[in-house]
Amino acid sequence: MRRAIDLGQNGPARGVNPQVGCVLLHPDGTLAAEGWHRGAGTPHAEVDALSKLGEAGARGLTAVVSLEPCNHTGRTGPCSAALIDAGVARVVYAVSDPGDVSRGGAQRLLDSGVDVIGGILADEATEAIRPWLVVARHGRPFVTVKWASSLDGRTAAADGSSQWITGAAARQDVHRRRAEHDAILVGTGTVLADDPTLTARDERGELLPDQPVPVVVGERPVPGAARVRQHPRGLVESGSRDLGRVLGDLLDRGVRSVFVEGGPTVASEFIRLGLVDDYLVYLAPTLIGGPHTALDRLGVETIDDQRRLRVTDVTPLGDDLLIVARDTLRRTP
């Protein structure tokens, strides 16, 4: 199963389809074939592996798959049917398919007399396709909230100046992560105060090949002269402060991951509503003090209500630290 999970990582990390791998084994446990999904419209991992078998075919083999074989016909046929038709004797999978249309492959296999075992290395497989599972299970894009602050939690000095708290290595890491998301989101207040471009750039200031779509949340219009209006991907103005509605609209537009860089008001609202999947906190070894904190009210009125996070990674970036965390109250994803 771990090999199947690793194979899946060869496929595209972004898009409507998950990264899935499949290993076909002979009854004695030796390898017969393996495959992975290469993106929408291409054979799924099971079919890719089956296509590599010789004349002996798949009769009596075991298929080890990182995601439950699908049970629907889209741009390709159902993998559960392909496995049944090929004569596979047993299917072992890690994570159940959460899709309303695609789920049910395991039951179809069982009904056809195939031995099925699920849940093998489920936690590892879940982590490997976590962003895809968030979209499938929650019906919204995967949300990353980022901020950069001093050790005392300040994002700007008393006069509002904030460039720069963190060093060049941390700022470049932010640009790389922007490029890994489908959209970058801020509030109207950030646009009016900072006039950002919301682009992803390299060390020389040149645009990276992958650019997130800029999204501005709020009811106030973005000024006509704002630099974000020159963004190569165009500008999405939500016209609303309803974050659930905004995320739903973005998903309809094909946006499956959102990088939130708004100020404390927008970031705090995402957190308050329980819409954050990953926190990226860039900490600089400096003290600023004053009123400009990274977050404002989160609905925490007593210490018992504090929002506990689980740190999943700590990375030094020059003199700064990047802390990656997620909510302890939510199961992955």
In the chain the domains, ranked by start, together with CATH numbers, are 2-135 (3.40.140.10), 140-327 (3.40.430.10)
Is 156 a residue whose pLDDT tops 60?
Answer: yes
Which of 95-109, 115-129, 241-255 is least confident? 95-109
180 is catalytic: no
> Looking at residue 332, what is its pLDDT?
57
Is 264 a residue whose pLDDT tops 60?
Answer: yes
Which of 70-74, 145-149, 293-297 is least confident? 70-74
Is 326 a residue whose pLDDT tops 80?
Answer: yes
DSSP state of 70: P
> Looking at residue 72, what is its pLDDT?
78
> Looking at residue 333, what is its pLDDT?
66
Please compute the mean of the pLDDT values over residues 276-299 and round it to a whole number. 94
DSSP state of 294: S
Q: Is 114:88 a contact under the CB 8 Å cutoff?
A: yes
Sign of the dihedral through C-alpha 27, 30, 33, 34: positive
Q: Tell me what percent of the residues of the chain surpass a pLDDT of 90.
A: 82
> Looking at residue 331, what is its pLDDT?
55
Q: Tell me what percent of the residues of the chain surpass a pLDDT of 70.
A: 98
3-state secondary structure of 97: coil
pLDDT, tens only, 29-46: 999 999 999 988 899 999
Residues 318, 61: Cα–Cα separation, whole Å:
51
Single out the catalytic residue among 46, 68, 237, 269. Answer: 46
Please compute the mean of the pLDDT values over residues 159-173 and round it to a whole number. 92
Residues 310, 326: Cα–Cα separation, whole Å:
5
- Joined together, the tokens standing for residue 43 give 């054979």
Residues 302, 152: Cα–Cα separation, whole Å:
21
Sign of the dihedral through C-alpha 236, 242, 243, 248: negative
- Joined together, the tokens standing for residue 119 give 């849940």
Is 242 a residue whose pLDDT tops 90?
Answer: yes
- Joined together, the tokens standing for residue 113 give 């007399």
What's the pLDDT band for 56 if we cut at 50, 70, 90? Answer: confident
Measured in whole angstroms, the distance separating CA 284 from the mean position of its chain's CA atoms is 26
What's the pLDDT band for 330 if we cut at 50, 70, 90? Answer: low
Which of 60-64, 96-100, 239-243 is least confident? 96-100
> Looking at residue 202, what is its pLDDT?
93
Mean pLDDT of the chain: 93
> Looking at residue 3, what is its pLDDT?
98
Residues 68, 302: Cα–Cα separation, whole Å:
43
- Joined together, the tokens standing for residue 212 give 């997130």
What's the pLDDT band for 329 if we cut at 50, 70, 90? Answer: low
What's the pLDDT band for 118 if we cut at 50, 70, 90? Answer: very high
What's the pLDDT band for 185 if we cut at 50, 70, 90? Answer: very high
> Rounded to two decimals, what is the model's pTM?
0.90
First to last CA, the chain: 20
Q: Is 59:87 a contact under the CB 8 Å cutoff?
A: yes
